[in-house]
Amino acid sequence: MDSQQQMKFNRVGIHDPAVDNVEGASLLVPEGWTLGGGFHWMPLFSLQANLLVQVTDPGTGASVFTLPLQQFVWPMQPVPMPVGSNWLGSVLLPPPRDAFEFVRTFYLPGPLQHLGGARIVQVEDLPKLAAEVSRTVGGQRTARVTRLRHAYEWGGRAWEEDVHITVVYSQPSAVTMWWGYGHAMRAPAGELDRMLPVLSVPVQSLRYGLDWEATRDYVRDLFRQNARDEVFRTMQFGQLLRQHREELRRTHQQVWEERQAAQDRQNFIFRETLGGIETYKNPFDSHTVELPAGYRHQWVSPQGQVILSNDPMYDPRHGSTVDWRSMDRYMP
């Protein structure tokens, strides 16, 4: 990174057509890279929505992408349903022994099928990050965060891919609830470690919007109130938002702020663990931003675009009407 004089990251908003086309989330995308994917609603499940996106470098093929979040359940007593069934909004599946088993069972048949013949060359548990996740979710739940590095051939090329998996377990009881989610970062073989700081930025900068989160939680409450049929039939989340926008915003504000703070804490621990990135404070909204290390100057615009520069003479305010501001290092 030191050899580059300048690097730009653009703030990209992701709109959800199902929720009145509001900006449901935003993230930073390196200039020249592509963003694909969007929101996927799952009205028959208790976790109502997933954001499945992929950011790709057209030049090298390197990319980072999110993996589905799902809630699982496993009763102590057998139930007359096959494994994988939707049981009251959760997937019927026993808790995995480790991240490798979870990936093999849940992700390999779908979004990670290209890793079917891959070799796992490194397994790393991330206990500090797991402790922060456990503290955030609370409720007598424990978390395990693991990084699995894969090596494989795909499209006639050799690749490396890190799959970061988080599994949250409730205390064993008559019915064990657990959750799993993650993201993956891949690059040509031999390039992944060098590109990790840049690949980490999109997923670590991901933030959900207040209006979107409030609507999702409202729809989730309808599900819990046995209104699944109505939600599935109408899919009119935009209408729900318009009818209850102010009420949802007012009641959800504190929850949203707490989630943002929890995300900031987890990102900071991720930065310390991964290395190669530094944390800065956005002067416009006070949220933290994780950026590649090796640059002397960090600038941000009110719209969230970021410019990193090593040129001491470079100042984006010259000849521009944009209110560019320098960012200061963040330390907890």
* DSSP states of 272-322: HHH-SEEEEE-TTT--EEEEESS-SEEEE-TT--EEEE--TT--TTTT--S
Checking phi first, is residue 102 left (phi over 0); if not, alpha (psi -120 to 50) or beta?
alpha
Q: Of the given ranges (119-123, 153-157, 272-276), which has the lowest mean pLDDT?
A: 272-276
Distances (CA, A) of 90 to 43, 94, 139, 224, 232: 12, 12, 18, 12, 16
- Position 3 scores a pLDDT of 45
- Position 238 scores a pLDDT of 61
Average pLDDT, the chain: 87
- Position 272 scores a pLDDT of 64
- Position 242 scores a pLDDT of 66
Mapped onto helix, strand or coil, the DSSP state of residue 253 is helix
First to last CA, the chain: 25
pLDDT class of 265 with cuts at 50, 70, 90: confident
Q: How confident is the model over 284-301, as pLDDT tens digits?
A: 987 888 899 889 999 999
pLDDT class of 19 with cuts at 50, 70, 90: confident
Instruction: Give the largest Cα separation in the chain, rounded.
Output: 70
Q: Pairing mode, if any, of strands 157-169 and 175-188?
A: antiparallel
pTM of the predicted model, to two decimals?
A: 0.83
pLDDT class of 2 with cuts at 50, 70, 90: very low
- Position 13 scores a pLDDT of 97
Provide the β-strand partners of residue 10: 29
Provide the β-strand partners of residue 70: 180
Q: What tokens does 26 get?
A: 């935003």
- Position 230 scores a pLDDT of 55
pLDDT class of 233 with cuts at 50, 70, 90: low
- Position 228 scores a pLDDT of 56
Q: How confident is the model over 173-210, as pLDDT tens digits?
A: 788 899 999 999 999 999 999 999 999 999 989 999 98
- Position 125 scores a pLDDT of 94
How many CA atoms lie less than 13 Å away from 314 in the CB half-sphere? 16
Q: How confident is the model over 45-91, as pLDDT tens digits?
A: 888 899 999 999 999 999 999 999 999 999 888 888 899 999 888 99
